[in-house]
Amino acid sequence: MKYFPMLLFCSSLLLIIVSSTATDTINTTQFVREGDTIVSAGGTYELGFFSPGKSKNRYLGIWYSKISVQTAVWVANRETPLNDSSGVILRLTNQGILVLLNRSGSLIWSSNISTPARNPVAQLLDSGNLVVKEEGDDNLENSLWQSFEHPGDTFMPDMKQGRNRITGMDWYMTSWKSPDDPSRGNITYILVPYGYPEILVMEDSRVKYRSGPWNGMRFSGTPHLRPNPVYTFGFVFNDKEIFYRYHLLNRSKLWRVVASQNGDITNFVWVDKTQSWLLYGTANTDNCERYSLCGANGICSISNSPVCDCLNGFVPKIQKDWDAMDWSSGCVRKIPLNCSGDEFRKLSGAKLPETKTSWFNKSMNLEECKSTCLKNCSCTAYSNLDIRDGGSGCLLWFGDLIDSRIFIENEQDIYIRMAASELDAGDAAKDNAKSNVKRRIMVSTALSTGVLVLIIAVVFYVWKRKQQKNRNISGGLGRSSNYKHKKEALELPLFDFDTMAFATRNFSDENKLGEGGFGLVYKGTLKDGREMAVKRLSKNSRQGLDEFKNEVKNIVKLQHRNLVKLLGCCIEGEEKMLIYEFLPNKSLDFFIFDEAKSLLLDWPQRYHIINGIACGLLYLHQDSRLRVIHRDLKASNVLLDYEMNPKISDFGLARCFGGNETEANTNKVAGTYGYISPEYAKYGLYSLKSDVFSFGVLMLEIVSGYRNRGFCHPDHQLNLLGHAWRLFKEGRHVELVGGLIFETCKLSEVLRSIHIGLLCVQENAKDRPNMSQVVLMLGNEDELPQPKHPGFFTERDLIEASHSLSQNKPCSANGCSFSLLEAR
């Protein structure tokens, strides 16, 4: 609580000093001026004057009072900055209007009320909401004015985002112009009340992102919005209001969602340990989240290359444009609709198309919905409104279907109207459809966190492109006669074959560093002494040259301090090579599984490595525009730099080799025994959660110093996962920790790491946390959920499961970390 002197301000400008007690409230005889603040009862929020960023202007605002980093969550006079706030006061009028007056009594800013108050007070609540109310009436519903109803760029727990349907007032966020200027920027984050409501991110009047309609459980484009132990969320749609909001289960956490200037909706959580805000997820980041990227009747799949396709039964409207990767013209039907004899084709796992012009009825069932759609010739699709309890309600689309994408985790189906003859043709090609389903499953776990969800992922750092550096390195840039275009060279550094052959002494055995998933790796040294790692890809990739180059360009852009940097590539005839930065300290397996070398890694270093890998993986999953699933994360794919910082290698390669995911590609690396998840081994499904599984294995290996595969114990036949799980259940998991680690460790961190590792390796992919949750769990000390039993906790499980998939003999040698499973 803060005590501060209060001044009584009378209209006669007579000042009387009133000794005042600490308070979160001002009444009509008190006011706030420069230097004063009022603090909410629990001490979380503070209201007063401040200057954002480097600005010299003064603003009246609300910020977090307990943290060292000044973070304003609301600004009153965002459009009318004060040059100088001396003599400026905030007071409450007798009618209940908050007014900000300058020294000469001119109005700078005011709140607004519809009915005059009798005995008003203004109170700063512990939710961060500044409320004007009748004294003694604590019911928020009766309040006269709330700052929560006039959001700035920050969406806070318990704030409503939507519309009051009685007054027509919209509650929406607008970005700041810049970190130094809180005036309204051009990004708005708004729930549109037309058709069936959805949340949009707009840049001026252009839609950038769309959440998809609420389906009873979440917005259709936000499959990650799921029940969780941190917050609850809800959508209310009735005659009085439409809104979305979330509510924190533990009030003492500091969370906020911000509409940033670039249009990303970012959410942050405060981490006491580091005294900083963690960027806990950026929604709408991947390419498929770009509104209507694939045009009308197109569909986006983030791990397809290219990402756009037409809906089944449609073809590109302007093929030439599509060939040039401009999909905006969209798709048209192969066979026009015949109003009377049409039928429907089901599409599963989709983010529902735009509902701006949709019609809905909450009480119809799916059959009624279908027949209603059939009756109207311009109706093009239908679906349930609510997917709970087997589905209910009816949502109809008219005309083109805009902005659909594929998500594996969406349970939602939509039925798309087709000419009967198209449907027959489609059925004939059922195989095709099947492979589509498979593709969809494989592909789309790439999931976007939907906007509001926001609350799902953490990133520790700011990503800086180091283009400049890249350019320097491309001193070895080749002039391969095929690829002379300068512009391309800048985007995709190309090295020529002769340079590489020289650097690796003609790919000599002495220069061989190892053998990775996609080919041999050599150490290269350029004439000027620069070192690099050259991966010579095996020649079996079926991918076309353009596709390959496109993917390499994408991977070059993935830059993070916990990823091995790809410097460029070398293409000559059949030969393809990837050029990486060279890391002298070899890979993690070299240290942790070796009795002598493991002494070099004490607990703080291991913990640092665990955190680094988590951040790198999170970046791949969540923050890069590609949403890369690594698919082969393991100790030998984590390299260490001079300072023992971990760097993940071999990421994105599956994409490079991917080509058409629907085709069985016998040369594809699919994972390594001991690290692959049950769903991959059994069904060939990979997703972000398969990487989480591998990460969990890796964590347990780092803590224990044992390989998962090849682990043996006199008492049982379990592998490391089974062993850890067994000890955990008996409360003895501390026994997993090896001697040296034990001496240098912070026990709570070690135990927590084991616990998190076990959460990551749970059998059911849905139970596993995502990487953002993992990073958050590593970053704080909250209670963790109980893990369920791990997948593959005996060696037998794995061998049996993989048998059905692989024609390869399972690797039998202990510690054969290069043994690779081949995809079906």
663 in contact with ligand NAG (CB under 6 A): no
179 in contact with ligand NAG (CB under 6 A): no
CB of 205 to ligand NAG, least distance (A): 9
- Residue whose C-alpha is closest to residue 768's, from 224, 280, 216: 224
Q: Which is nearer to ligand NAG, 11 or 106 (CB)?
A: 106
Which residue do the tokens 């560093």 mark?
A: 513
93 in contact with ligand NAG (CB under 6 A): no
When binding is defined by CB under 6 A, the residue of 2, 4, 20, 818 that contacts ligand NAG is: 20
Q: Which helix (H) or strand (E) holds 753?
A: helix 747-760
Sequence-distant (≥ 6) Cβ neighbours of residue 769 within 8 angstroms: 692, 756, 759, 760, 777
158 CB-side CA count, 13 A:
15
Q: Which is nearer to ligand NAG, 743 or 782 (CB)?
A: 782
226 in contact with ligand NAG (CB under 6 A): no
| Total of chain residues touching ligand NAG, rule CB under 6 A | 35
CB of 450 to ligand NAG, least distance (A): 22
Q: Is 351 annotated as a binding residue?
A: no
Residues 342-371 contacting ligand NAG, CB under 6 A: 359, 361, 363-364, 368
Sequence-distant (≥ 6) Cβ neighbours of residue 514 within 8 angstroms: 520, 521, 636
CA distance 672 to 695: 12
* Residue 591 backbone phi and psi in degrees, to 5: -90, -50
Q: Which helix (H) or strand (E) holds 278?
A: strand 276-282
Backbone φ/ψ region at 430: left (φ over 0), alpha (ψ -120 to 50), beta: alpha
* Residue 2 backbone phi and psi in degrees, to 5: -115, 145
Sequence-distant (≥ 6) Cβ neighbours of residue 420 within 8 angstroms: 338, 341, 342, 343
- State which amino acid sits at residue 173: M
Strands 404-406 and 298-300: parallel
Residues 240-269 contacting ligand NAG, CB under 6 A: 250, 252, 261
103 in contact with ligand NAG (CB under 6 A): yes
Which residue do the tokens 């990004």 mark?
A: 187
- State which amino acid sits at residue 85: S
Binding window for ligand NAG (CB under 6 A); candidates: 20-28, 492-500, 711-719, 812-820: 20-28
11 in contact with ligand NAG (CB under 6 A): no
Binding window for ligand NAG (CB under 6 A); candidates: 62-70, 109-117, 221-229, 711-719: 109-117
CA distance 238 to 162: 12
- Scanning 629-746, the segments in alpha helix (DSSP H) are 653-658, 678-683, 688-704, 720-729, 739-744
CA distance 286 to 448: 7
Q: Which is nearer to ligand NAG, 335 or 740 (CB)?
A: 335
183 in contact with ligand NAG (CB under 6 A): no
When binding is defined by CB under 6 A, the residue of 102, 164, 260, 744 that contacts ligand NAG is: 102
CB of 424 to ligand NAG, least distance (A): 10
Q: Which is nearer to ligand NAG, 19 or 468 (CB)?
A: 19
When binding is defined by CB under 6 A, the residue of 12, 340, 481, 807 that contacts ligand NAG is: 340
272 part of the active site: no
19 in contact with ligand NAG (CB under 6 A): no
338 in contact with ligand NAG (CB under 6 A): yes
When binding is defined by CB under 6 A, the residue of 11, 12, 106, 468 that contacts ligand NAG is: 106
Q: Which is nearer to ligand NAG, 177 or 789 (CB)?
A: 177
71 in contact with ligand NAG (CB under 6 A): no
When binding is defined by CB under 6 A, the residue of 54, 166, 204, 323 that contacts ligand NAG is: 204
- For ligand NAG, which residue has the nearest CB? 341
Q: What is the dihedral of CA 204, 206, 207, 208, to 10 degrees?
A: -80
Q: Which is nearer to ligand NAG, 91 or 405 (CB)?
A: 91
- CB-based contact 482:798 (threshold 8 Å): no
Q: Which is nearer to ligand NAG, 114 or 139 (CB)?
A: 114
DSSP tag of 418: E
DSSP line for 1-33: -----EEEE-TT--EEEE-----SEEETT-EEE
Binding window for ligand NAG (CB under 6 A); candidates: 22-30, 545-553, 581-589, 692-700: 22-30
CB of 9 to ligand NAG, least distance (A): 12
- CB-based contact 360:377 (threshold 8 Å): no
611 CB-side CA count, 13 A:
19
CB of 451 to ligand NAG, least distance (A): 18
The single residue of 24, 342, 632, 797 carrying the catalytic annotation is 632
Q: Which is nearer to ligand NAG, 108 or 648 (CB)?
A: 108
Q: Which is nearer to ligand NAG, 230 or 526 (CB)?
A: 230
33 CB-side CA count, 13 A:
15
When binding is defined by CB under 6 A, the residue of 37, 51, 55, 186 that contacts ligand NAG is: 186
When binding is defined by CB under 6 A, the residue of 30, 154, 215, 287 that contacts ligand NAG is: 30
- Residue whose C-alpha is closest to residue 74's, from 105, 97, 40, 114: 40
341 in contact with ligand NAG (CB under 6 A): yes
376 in contact with ligand NAG (CB under 6 A): yes
User: Which parts are annotated binding residues?
Assistant: 535
- Chain positions contacting ligand NAG, by CB under 6 A: 20, 27-30, 83-84, 102-104, 106, 110, 112, 114, 177, 185-186, 203-204, 250, 252, 261, 338, 340-341, 359, 361, 363-364, 368, 376, 378, 398, 420, 782
User: Which parts are annotated binding residues for ATP?
Assistant: 535
Positions marked catalytic: 632
